[in-house]
Amino acid sequence: MSERKVLNKYYPPDFDPSKIPKLKLPKDRQYVVRLMAPFNMRCKTCGEYIYKGKKFNARKETVQNETYMGLPIFRFYIKCTRCLAEITFKTDPENTDYAMEHGATRNFQAEKLIEEEEKRIQQEREEEELNNPMKVLENRTKDSKLEMEVLENLQELKELNQRQALVDFEGMIDQYREMEKREREREKEEDEREMKIFYVLLTEKLWAVFSSSFLQGASAGGAKKAKVESWERSVGTLGGKGALGSLIVRKKPVMTVSKPSSVTETAAPISQTGNTSLSCTLWPLLFEVSGILYLTFVFLSPNYVLRVGTCSHL
């Protein structure tokens, strides 16, 4: 077994290679090769999509009587993965690509079609220029005009890039900050103006409440006094000489030594009765004024930002 690994074989002195029999194989014989699909295709039989790079066990053969500049062209046979229909394609050395032959249609070959269209237009132009000198001049004029347009567009792009390269980002940031500062100052001035408006409205409301309460107290005192006077005129007082005066017997005053403090003691009940009527009138007013002052303190505190709509209901 070691002789099969050597680099040189032994050839006897009487070895004649012409006497070795040669295999007579057909020229169109096929080989089984492992390959990948060279492009995206779709089966014509079942519509199955076969994507580029899918592996197949294909049969390979040489195309008879067809070469390109001495290079042989090979044909490959594969089977659809779904319906097992036969699909064939061959090499295209002219375009360094593969050409579809039978069993499927090639997909996504827009680039190839564009290249073929460009080649066809170029060939037609060359054929026209060979027989028509005026066409040559016209084509040159069009080419020069197109070249000038391309240069102008390129110059515009260069200028645009230069303008973008000279953008001062720091200046833009400073300008934005200055704009924000002016906006904050404007909002602060608006808040102060609205606070002044609110204060004026609140003062007017307070004065209106105070005046209305005072007028109500005065009117209530006048009505009570008028009611007492009408009662005394109709019936009389207990201490007077009218109809009710005969019901009361007055005691004779006892002679006592009056002290200096008696004046204040006798005057106190009168003042208390007068203060009672006054307090009954002013207590509601004091409650309302204290509530308004509390609201004023709350709304005028710096933690509240007031708007015109907040005090519009006043």
Residues making up the binding site for Zn(2+): 43, 46, 80, 83
Q: How many Cβ atoms sit within 10 Å of the Cβ of residue 85?
A: 16
Q: What's the alpha-carbon Rg for the chain, to the nearest Å?
A: 60
Is 89 within 8 Å of 98 (Cβ atoms)? yes
> How far is it, in rounded angstroms, from Cα 146 to Cα 139?
10
Check: CB of residue 42 under 8 Å from CB of residue 49. Answer: yes
Q: DSSP per residue over 18-29, as a string? A: GGSPPP---TT-
- What are the helix and strand counts (H, E) for the chain? 5, 8
Numbered residues of the known binding site: 43, 46, 80, 83
Q: φ, ψ for residue 150 (rounded to 5)?
A: -65, -40
Residue pair 109/40 in contact by the 8 Å Cβ criterion: no
E strand or H helix at 78: strand 71-79
